[in-house]
A and B are shown apart, each in its own frame.
Chain A
C-alpha cells in the first residue's frame, strides 16, 4: 500500500491545479513585502487565492482543522517573482528549430500573439518556478514590431487557463544606432539608422490614421492590432540600449502619444533626466553582463539598477538578455541579488523583480507584493532568496494553489543519488 500512497501523494502535489479552498496561514516568518519593506515577524493568511492578511504576526485564530498552517519560524516569505521578456513556454531547446516558437518572420507583426503558442507543459517551466518565478511576461520576437505579449502564471491546464492578462503589451526593437561592419570587423555609426526610423514612423502614422476610424470595409490586421496601443490601454515595450536609441524611442513615444517602456537600457544612465521627465520606466535585461565599452567601469552593469533608482526612475529587472531567456529565468533572483551588492538594499533589489516589474506590466493591482487583496502568488524560502548560498524554497503558491517545489530535475537527481547510495541532504 505504501507504494500506492506515494503515487497518490505525488499526484496531489504536482497537479493541484484547482482553486484553493482551504485557508492557508504562514506564521512567524520574515515577510519581504516586495515594496521595499520587510516585516521581521509576520503572518500571511490567504484563502480562495487571495491574500487576506499580510502583516505583523497576529493571533490568527486558525488551527489545523480550520486551516493549513505553515510554521514560518526562521523562514522568509516573498511575493512571486515576475519574469519579463521571457520565452518561457515558447522555446524548449533553443538549438532545435522544431522546438522554437518565439520568433516570427516579417518586419511589422503587431498582430502576432505569443499567448496561443504558450506551452503550459513545457519541461522548462517547473525548473524556473522552483526558484520562485511564478509569473511571466511571454514575448514574441523577430522583426521590428514583433507582436503582443501576454502575462502568464506558471501553472495552468492550457494557455487560456494560465493567462493572467491577455495581449498585455506590444513589442518592438528600436533600430541600431551603431552597426557592425563584417568586412572590416568594426563598429560604426549606422548609415541606415535614420532610414529605419523613418520606416517605423511611416508605419505608425498609417496605423494611427487607420485606427481613427472604427470600421474599415477592408480590414488590415496589422493596424487593427494597434488599436489598444493608440487608445492608451496597452504599452509598447521598446528594446533600446544605446543612449541615442533611447532618446529616439522617447521621441517616438511622444510623437505618437503612446506609453512605452524601455527594455534593455544599457546606457540609460546617460539619459536619466529625459526618462524621468517623461515618466518612462526601464526594464534592465540583466545585471550579469559585460560592460558595453572596454573602458566602462567593470561593474557598471551591476550598478545600473542602483543608478536608475537614485535618478528616480521606475526600474524593473529580468534576465532576457541573449538566447537563454527561458531556462535562464530561474536566475532572476541572483540578478537582483547582484544589484544589492552594488548600490541597492536587499529589499530594493527584491522590489525590482516583484512590485516594479508588476507595476511596469500593469498587473500590480493583483501581483508583485504581499498585500491583502492581492493574489496569493508567493513562496516560502529557508533563507535569503537573492543569494544562491541560501536560496532554498520550501513552499510555493500561485493564486493560492500549492505548487510542488521539486521538479523533474530533482527527481532525476534523486534517482541517481539512490543508484550511488548518496545520502540526500
Chain B
C-alpha cells in the first residue's frame, strides 16, 4: 500500500485544489492539467536505472509515474516516443540567471575607505549577505532558452558579485511567470575572494578578502550574542539567518578551494566549492578537504603554436593544462570526490554538451556524468525529493533526445520544464533513402543520406553526383541544386515516401515529384579510439615540476669543507651524515653503510640560506595597503606552491624564506616562514612550529610619499602621524585585551587579536624601516607598551642608532649595498651591516627580491669588501643570523648534530662570486641538483615538443586555434599596491 499512499500524499500537495493565481486574467480562465504519456521510450529514470520501452506519465507539472507498467488515463495525450530517450533534465548549481547587475553608488575621487552605500549594512561594499536573489530574480526568456537547449531544467541562481554575495534561489528554466519559476527562495549562501563591482579600496588582495570573510563571520557571532543591541546591521543578521543554507564558494583556482575550506573549518561548516577546472593538479589535498565541488567544463582552446618564437611564451603548465583539462572530471571521479557540473565558464551554452562528451572521452563514466548533472546537484542543495530523477512526485523536468545523450550525434528534441514542453530542435521525419526525381521532363536520382535529423541531399544526373541542399519537415519540402545547365529550385509537400510540388527553372514554373526507390544504408559510425593518452601529472604543476617528489635519504657527504657556523668554525676534510631529515653526525671518516655518498672533495658545505625578507610564492597581492592597519591579513593564507621562483632560489642555495606582507601601510599583515619544499602543497611548505611574525613599516611607503598626488588622504602622511598610528593601535589593543579579560561581550577583532599577540609575546615584529628617527621612534613606542621590536628590516640607517638597537634588543635585516632609490635611503651605506654586527646587533642580509635571493651568499660577501667583515661572520648573515631573528636557530642555520638537514654543497668558497650551489637539501631531501639540470631540461624540452606537436596536429586537422596568451607569473615587491581582487 505504500506506493499508493505516497501518490495520494503528493496528490494532495500539488494536484488538488484550484489552479489559483494572484494575477488577473485578460480573457477567460485557461487552466490545464497537461496530462501526457510518453510511450515506448527509453527512460533514464536515474543515473543507474534505465528502462527500455517504458512509459512516462506526467500531470500538472509533476511526474505521476515512470515504468513499464503504467496505466494511461483517458485524458492523457499519448506521445509515441519509440527510439527516444528521456532523461531528467540537468541541474546547474552555479549561475546568475535572471539576476540584475549590482548597482553601486557613484565613486568619488581618491581612495574610498568606507562603503558608500550608507544603509544599515556591512562597512564593506563587497559584503552583501542580505541580498536575496529570489526577490530580484526575473525570468529571462532569451537566456532560459539557451540553458534549456543545453539540457538544463533548473539552476541555482545568485548575484555573482562580491565577497559575501547573499543567497541563491533554485529556479526553473521555463518561461512561465517569474513567481511560478522560483522553486525555492533561499537555498544557498554565496562567497568568493573577488570583490566584484565594489568601488571600495579594501580589500585589494586575496588575503584581505579572506580576512574580510573571517571578520564578517566573527562579527555575526558577536551580533547574535548581543551585538544587535548595540547596532542594527542587516548584513550580520543575514549571515546568521543564512547559516542553515548550503554555503557555496566560488574558487577561481585550485588552491582557493583549500583556502575556502580552511575558513569553513575555522567556523565549523563545510563549503561546497565551485571549482575552476584545474582541480586535478592538487587532487589529494582537495579530496582531504572533504569539500564537494561544482565543476565547469571550460577547457583551454588550442593555441596556435606554429611560430616557435611566439610559442615560447606558453609555459609548460599552459601546455599540460591544455592537454589534461578534459580529464579533470575523470580524475575527480576516480579520486572519489563528489562533484556536480556547471555550464559556467563556457563562452556559449551550446559548448556544454560537446564539452561533456569530451569529458566522457577522457574517461568519465556516463553514469558519473549523469549523477553530476542530476542526482548529485539535487542532493547538494537538499532537493533530491523534488528534482534530479524521473521518479513519481518529482517536478516534470526532463529532456527528450534522439538517443544516448553522450553520443555525438544525439539531438535534444524537447526540454520539458514544470510539465510544459519547450522545443529544442524540431523533430524531423526520417526521409533518408534513394528516390527517383522527375523535374518537368528531366529524370534524376535523389539521394538523402546523413543523419535523420540533419539529412544531406545529393542529386544524381547520369553518373554524376551533384551537390544539393534541401529541407524536409512533416509537411513541406524544398530542394535546390545546379544540374549543370541551370539552377533548379523545388518547393512542395511531403507525402508517404514521396514528395511532389512545383518549382522554378529560371523564370518558368514547373511540376516535379520524387518517389522512393531504395532505403538508405547507414554507414556504421567509426568508433573513436577510447584511450586518450595524456602526459604525466607533475608536482608542482609548473616548470621544474616533477612526476614524483624527491625522497628523504640517508646521505653522507664526505671529505668536504664544513662551515659549521658553530664554535668549531670551518672544518676541512670533514664528513657530515644526514638521516631522517636531521644532521646526525659531523666528523672524520664517518661510516654509514646504507647512506648515499656524495663526494665533497674540494667543495664547501654550509647551512641552507635563509631569506629574512622575501615576497615570492604569494597569490593575488602582497599588500593590503588600503588601510593603515591590516594586521588581520595573513600571508600564510595565500602561499602559492606553484611559483617557479621557489625552484630558482633553491638553485641559489636558499632553503627557508620568510614571506612578508609588503610595506604599503604602517601595520601590515602576518608573515609566513616557509621551507622551499618544492612540489608539496602550501600547508606543507610552512615551517612547522615556527613563531608567528608580523610586518610593520615606516617611512615613505607608509605615508604614501611616492604614490602620486591622489594619495594624500589616508592617515598618516608624515612620520609624525606614523608614531600616532602605533600609539593608537597598541592603546586599543591593551584596552581590547582588558575588556576580553573582564568577561564582557567583546567582538573578536582580528586586527587587534594580532596586536594582542604582540603584547603577549606570541607574535613578533619585523619592521620595514630606513631612517634613524623612525627606528628610534618605534623602539620608544614598543618600550612604552612593554614589548620589543624583534627585527628592523632594510634598516639602512641602522648604523646611526646601532647602540640604541642593541640596548632595545632589536635585530637587523639589511640590504648589502642598496641606496639612492628614494630619499630616505640617501645616507644608506654598504658598511651598515658590519657596523650593526660589530655593535652586537644580530644582523642578517635579506633579498626583498626574487632575483637577488638567488645570490644572497654574494650579497653577504659584500660586507667583506666594504667593511672587512670576516668570511664566517659574513656567511652567518644569511644563515645563522636570520635563523636567530626568526627564532628557529634551534632547528636551522648551522651545521650541528640534531639540527635539520637543510644544507647546501657549493662548488667553491660560498662567499665567492664563482661558487655554484651544486646540491640544495631540505630535511635531508635533495630538492635541487645542479648535475641533473641537463637531463631535466632535456626532458622538459621533449614534453613541450610532444604537446606542441599534438596542438599542431589538431590545427592541421582543422580545429580552430586561438592566438597565444599566457598568464603572468607575478613578481611582487614591497611597495606593490595593485588591486588583485577586482572584478568577478
Interface residues of A (CB under 8 A from B): 91-96, 123-124, 127, 178, 180-181, 184-189, 242-244, 270, 288-291, 293-295, 297-299, 323-324, 326-327, 330-331, 334, 337-338, 340-342, 386-392, 409-410, 412-413, 416-417, 420, 422, 424-425
Contact = CB atoms under 8 A, between A and B. Distances in A.
B831 A413 contact: yes
B206 to A, nearest CB: 13
Nearest to A407: B829
A94 B830 contact: no
Nearest to B652: A298
Interface string B544-576: 100000000000000000000000000000000
Contacts of B822: 93-96
Top 5 A-B pairs, shortest CB-CB distance: A425-B868, A95-B822, A413-B831, A337-B913, A327-B820
14 contacts: A94-B821, A95-B700, A124-B820, A188-B313, A189-B313, A189-B963, A270-B309, A289-B851, A297-B933, A298-B933, A386-B913, A391-B865, A392-B865, A420-B838
Contacts of B912: 387, 389
Range for the number of chain B residues in contact with chain A: 35 or more
Which of A123, A331, A341 has its CB near the most chain B CB atoms (within 10 A)? A341
B123 interface: no
Nearest to B852: A288
Nearest to A131: B865
Nearest to A91: B820
A95 B644 contact: no
B591 to A, nearest CB: 34
B315 A294 contact: yes
Contact of A324 (B651, B821, B864, B969): B821
B968 A96 contact: no
B776 interface: no
B827 A298 contact: no
Interface in B911-932: 911-916
Contacts of A327: 818-821
B954 interface: no
Which of A184, A291, A294 has its CB near the most chain B CB atoms (within 10 A)? A294
Interface string B824-851: 0111011100010011000000000011
B827 A412 contact: yes
Contacts of A386: 913
Nearest to A94: B821
B939 to A, nearest CB: 11
A244 B644 contact: no
A189 B964 CA distance: 7
Nearest to A293: B312
B392 interface: no
Contacts of B871: 389
Contacts of A184: 965
Given A91-B820, A341-B908, A391-B865, 7 more contacts: A96-B823, A187-B313, A242-B309, A290-B648, A327-B818, A389-B913, A413-B829
B424 interface: no
B865 A186 contact: no
B840 to A, nearest CB: 10
Given A243-B309, A387-B912, A389-B861, A295 B821 contact: no
Nearest to A99: B823
A207 B376 CA distance: 71
Contacts of B864: 388-389
Contacts of A243: 309
Contacts of B800: 416
Given A295-B316, A299-B651, A388-B861, A180 B968 contact: yes
A389 B644 contact: no
Given A298-B651, A413-B831, A420-B838, A388 B858 contact: yes
Nearest to B701: A95
A186 B967 contact: yes
A341 B916 contact: yes
A409 B313 CA distance: 44
A186 B314 CA distance: 11
Contacts of A124: 820
B99 interface: no
Interface of B: 309-310, 312-313, 315-317, 542-544, 644-645, 647-648, 651, 700, 705-706, 799-800, 802-803, 817-823, 825-827, 829-831, 835, 838-839, 850-852, 854-855, 858, 861-862, 864-865, 867-868, 871, 908-909, 911-916, 933, 937, 940, 944, 963-971
Contact of B820 (A92, A290, A331, A417): A92
Contact of A389 (B803, B826, B865): B865
A387 B914 contact: yes
Contacts of B831: 409-410, 413, 417
Interface of A is mostly: loop
B966 A186 contact: yes
Nearest to B940: A295
Contacts of B835: 413, 416-417, 420, 422
A388 B838 CA distance: 20
B799 A93 contact: no
Nearest to A297: B937
A188 B821 contact: no
A290 B645 contact: yes
A302 B800 CA distance: 36
Contacts of A391: 865
A307 B645 CA distance: 23
B225 to A, nearest CB: 42
A327 B829 CA distance: 12
Given A186-B968, A409-B829, A93 B838 contact: no
A124 B915 CA distance: 30
A215 B838 CA distance: 68
Contacts of B852: 288
A8 to B, nearest CB: 26
B823 A95 contact: yes
A389 B315 contact: no
A338 B647 CA distance: 19
A288 B856 CA distance: 12
Contacts of B799: 413, 416
Which of B317, B818, B830, B913 has its CB near the most chain A CB atoms (within 10 A)? B913
Nearest to A417: B835
B965 A294 contact: no
Given A94-B821, A178-B313, A270-B309, A389 B916 contact: no
Nearest to B915: A341
B194 to A, nearest CB: 13
B829 A412 contact: yes
Nearest to A385: B865
A30 B889 CA distance: 43
A186 B965 contact: yes
B821 A294 contact: no
B648 A334 contact: no
A297 B928 CA distance: 13
A327 B830 CA distance: 12
Nearest to A324: B821
Nearest to B941: A295
A181 B543 contact: no
Given A189-B964, A323-B821, A420-B838, A388 B862 contact: yes
B309 to A, nearest CB: 5
Nearest to A95: B822
A156 to B, nearest CB: 20
A409 B830 contact: yes
B839 A422 contact: yes
Nearest to A292: B312
A410 B866 CA distance: 8
Given A288-B851, A298-B651, A341-B913, A422 B826 contact: no
